[in-house]
Amino acid sequence: MPLFSKSHKNPAEIVKVLKENMAILEKQDKKTDKASEEVSKSLQAMKEILCGTTDKEPPTEIVAQLAQELYNSGLLVTLIANLQLIDFEGKKDVSQIFNNILRRQIGTRSPTVEYISAHPHILFMLLKGYESPNIALRCGIMLRECIRHEPLAKIILFSEQFRDFFKYVEMSTFDIASDAFATFKDLLTRHKLLVAEFLEQNYDVIFEDYEKLLHSENYVTKRQSLKLLGELILDRHNFAIMTKYISKPENLKLMMNLLRDKSPNIQFEAFHVFKVFVASPNKTQPIVEILLKNQPKLIEFLSNFQKERTDDEQFTDEKNYLIKQIRDLKKPTA
């Protein structure tokens, strides 16, 4: 097959052959076996150009030519749109090619980030990939690579599709739900100032959806969501969000209920959110009233709370501090 490998060293030729064979796969006619084979070969050739081989780096001008061909031909979009038609190894190759080309920089520019910013439906195709079990994890890998770049993270955060995450993290397939949660967490923690702006602008909608996760029947979802909530409200960039969250009595009541959850791990994560309500020097009146109403019960409960954590000095210190704060609360004088 010398002719095949020779022609495949030319980026324009690889892209042309790959595009033609992807079109055959899309039609799903009798020639798909042969086309599938050609797609695999083309993807491998493309990967070799981008990643080089063990003994030599990929030539910059060939990589640039390949990237340009991928943009101009629309092949990048075709590969994502029809990922489920590609065989298992080919799917892996597509995600490697995509992530490699996404990291490519020319000076301070990231050409693929610019390309995807101009074609945002690529991001939403990747996100929707969570609905297809045979491509969900591959789409997750590519989506997280996109989120590393603030302009792409911003497009997802401020889109209507962002709320689809609340559905995906609750999916019945454990691997897919966990992967979706990893992407969701990345999106809410990687670009601090951007996320703070997003949460402030969309507080009511987002936290209404988030509360449903804290009531989830799924133990893993519930625990991960609580842990992430603690991380978000304790981040100094989210001070305005924290202030708003801990001013609401219904949020305090929810944490007090979760402190009594049957799972010690859920209780522990709830403790880290609960402590923010108690430790705040600027408690709202409704919060003070709930704490006062439950003062004796809370002191007794916290005194016996997770006593087995004897080796966790920080936890013990925080617990003692909260008990003191609750004990020192006074009814406001009329």
From first to last of the 334 residues of the chain, give the pLDDT tens digit: 333 444 446 899 999 999 999 998 988 877 788 888 999 999 999 998 888 766 777 778 888 999 999 999 999 999 999 999 999 999 999 999 999 999 999 889 999 999 999 999 999 999 999 999 999 999 999 999 999 999 999 999 999 999 999 999 999 899 999 999 999 999 999 999 999 999 999 999 999 999 999 999 889 999 999 999 999 999 999 999 999 999 999 999 999 999 999 999 999 999 999 999 999 999 999 999 999 999 999 999 999 999 888 889 999 999 999 999 999 998 766 5
Examine residue 26 and state whether it is found in any structural domain, yes or no: no
53 DSSP β-pair partners: 56
Examine residue 332 and state whether it is found in any structural domain, yes or no: no
Q: Which of 324, 262, 273, 270 is nearest to 295 (CA)?
A: 324
C-beta contacts of 50-56 below 8 A and 24+ residues apart: 50/97, 50/100, 50/101, 51/96, 51/100
As a whole number of angstroms, the distance between CA 152 and CA 119 comes to 10
- Tokens linked to 334: 């009329």
Examine residue 92 and state whether it is found in any structural domain, yes or no: yes
Triad 244, 302, 238: Cα angle to 5°: 20
Examine residue 67 and state whether it is found in any structural domain, yes or no: yes
The answer to whether 320 and 279 have CB atoms below 8 angstroms apart is no
Examine residue 274 and state whether it is found in any structural domain, yes or no: no
Examine residue 318 and state whether it is found in any structural domain, yes or no: no
Examine residue 314 and state whether it is found in any structural domain, yes or no: no
Residues of the domain holding 134? 42-51+61-102+113-160
Q: Which of 135, 151, 144, 150 is nearest to 165 (CA)?
A: 144
Examine residue 197 and state whether it is found in any structural domain, yes or no: no
Number of separate domains in the chain: 1
DSSP3 helix / strand / coil % (the chain, rounded to 5): 75, 0, 25
Q: Tokens 């507080």 identify what position?
A: 203
User: Whole-prediction pTM value?
Assistant: 0.90
